[in-house]
Amino acid sequence: MNSVIELETKTASVVVYPDRAQVTRSGATRLEAGVYRLVANGLPAALVPASLRARGRGTARARLLSVDSERVFFAQAQDERIAKLEGELEALTDQDRELADQEKTAGLVGGFLGTLADSAGKDLGRGLAFSRTSLTDVQSFAAYLESSSVGNSAQLREVQLRRREVGREIERVRRELEHLRSPQPLERTRAAVGVEVTEAGELEVEMTYVVPGASWTPLYDIRVTEGNSEVEIAYLGQVSQNTGEDWMEVALSLSTAKPAVTATLPEVRPWYIQPIMPRAEMASLGAGMPKAMMASAARQMDAAPMPAPAEDYVAREMEAATATAARSGAALTFVIGQRASLPSDGSPHKTTIGILSLPSKPDYVTFPKLAAYAYRRAKVTNNTELMLLAGQASVYWGGDYVGATRIPDIASGQALEVFLGTDERIAVKRELSVREVDKNLLGNRRRLQYGYRMRLQNLLTSMADLEVLDQLPVPRHEDIKVQLVRASIPPTEQEELGALKWRLALAAGEEQTIEFVFAVDYPRDMQIAGLPD
């Protein structure tokens, strides 16, 4: 018959994937020769049974016989935090009742003093009138009444203040308990490892399993300093987990692998195409079509591409503990350099993957038609071997927060553009300079000419590279023709969809003017929408 031994285990390491986690727990015990069933309690209920694996090592000579798991249900919460909070709540409730009694007593004393003052006031008044009471007696009573009232009021205020504080603590503990308690039946997983020991000794058993309810996403802090040719990027990982078990002081790794995606090849489904129906015709068929299908068809009809928007010591900056990267196939795993504690409460926890100093080329960009400002820009090159995964980024100019952006996947060697807010030291002005009808054309056509003047000035004390953007209208009818007639400075680039781009190098204090004129040629009897007034 197998001997059953309860094995005390604790979480040793965790690998967090974008949508789950792999947990390793370990525990050690001394075993004599024989066959044992080592039972580990308290594993999370969400544990994926098929993922449970075990191995052992130590001075004992042993053989692994089996690994299995089962669900265990409880009538009361097994979480130590819940039990602790429930005890806190009971103590706070008792304290509040005691304060409520003190508040009631102080109220009764206050009421008694008020009644006493009313009654004694009448008696003392009659006593003075008939010379039965002296003025000294009245003054003594008044002093007593004042002292008692002031003392009682102060005690009442203090009790009420303490009740408010206790009330806030009660509310906090109740909210935390509501968050931790589950409406589902209380359950955990029990794992059992069968071993045969042929030579006595110490045996350490490791159990590895996969749980859902955990994830991590990349975050970035991008910091640019004026005059610095490098951009500092703090590469962060934000981890959250609600797996049902706390990870305390564990060795943490973050992996880019997606087990759910890479385990199987996606199923190939038929690719259907069909004519797009007018809305009226689609509505006539709607009676027999599910609402979800109608909504999907409507989205396809309406889909359109959107435009992309002095001390004697030296103070030292505190260093951040960073991670080391290891590649396994196409996936990257970041091994965090310090142990981490992540409770199972779903709250986000940030850890530093690395602090990168990347070369950048600073310049300015302006689109005067949309905004009379020049925007600082840094073109950053990823010269590391790390893959910068897509994620949210907070951007800082020196010590000032500029705003938030989202960066795409940036592989080694690729570039990233970071915008750093406006700089009023690059003055920008755009105005309409030409609007006329060309009278020299004959026939049944009309030609309009429009011109714009852009004044650009560098108020910095150094050279500034400036990219200037503008555009020509794009015709949507074959009888409408648009062409660039002239430009005081030829555009560096002119794209098919009318985009114009100039690249200028402005010396300190230098001013340049760009003027361009374009013509719109169209039939005389045609009405044109979208031209300047």
Q: Residue 9: which residues within 8 A CB-CB, separation 6 or more?
A: 25, 26, 27, 40, 205, 207
Q: Which of 191, 166, 196, 143 is nearest to 36 (CA)?
A: 196
- Radius of gyration of the chain, Cα coordinates, nearest whole angstrom: 38
What local confidence, expressed as pLDDT, does residue 141 receive? 72
Q: How far is CA 298 from the centre of its chain?
A: 32
User: What sign does the dihedral 286-289-294-297 (CA atoms) show?
Assistant: negative
The predicted structure's pLDDT at residue 193: 94
CA distances from residue 164 to 105, 172, 337, 407, 469 in whole angstroms, order as listed: 17, 12, 44, 47, 61
| 166: CB partners within 8 A, 6+ apart | 92, 95, 96, 99
pTM of the model: 0.64
Q: Return d(Cα 343, Cα 341) in angstroms, integer.
A: 7
Q: How many residues does the chain have?
A: 533
Q: What is the pLDDT along the chain (533 residues), one digit of tens a residue?
A: 579 999 999 999 999 999 999 999 999 999 999 999 999 998 998 999 999 999 999 999 999 999 999 988 766 555 667 778 888 888 999 999 998 988 888 888 888 877 877 777 676 666 766 666 677 766 777 787 778 888 888 888 898 899 899 999 998 888 877 766 654 446 889 999 999 999 999 999 999 999 999 999 999 999 988 878 889 999 999 999 999 888 999 999 999 887 765 555 566 677 765 665 555 544 443 444 334 333 433 333 333 333 344 445 455 555 556 677 776 666 778 888 888 999 888 889 999 888 899 999 999 999 999 999 999 999 999 998 888 889 999 999 888 898 899 999 998 899 999 888 889 999 999 999 999 987 666 678 889 999 999 999 999 999 999 999 999 999 988 899 999 999 999 999 998 889 999 999 999 999 999 999 999 999 988 888 888 87
The two structure tokens encoding residue 440: 């020299």
Q: CB neighbours of 46 closer than 8 A, spacing ≥ 6?
A: 211, 212, 213, 243, 244
Helix 80-129 to helix 135-180 angle (10° resolution) is 160
Contact in structure between 37 and 196 (CB atoms under 8 Å): no
Q: Are 238 and 254 in contact (CB under 8 A)?
A: no
Beta-carbon-side half-sphere exposure of residue 98 (alpha carbons within 13 Å): 8
Q: In this predicted structure, what is the pLDDT of residue 296? A: 38
Q: Please name every residue paired with 34 in a beta bridge, in sequence order, or none if there are none.
A: 197
Distances (CA, A) of 62 to 27, 54, 56, 69, 191: 15, 13, 8, 21, 18
Quick one: which of 308, 314, 303 has its CA closest to 276?
Answer: 303
Could you tell me how far CA 271 lies from the centroid of its own chain?
Answer: 37
d(CA 141, CA 155): 21
pLDDT at 458: 96
Q: Rounded to the nearest 5 degrees, what angle is found at the Cα of 423, between the Cα atoms of 419 and 429? A: 110
Tell me, what's the pLDDT at 282? 42
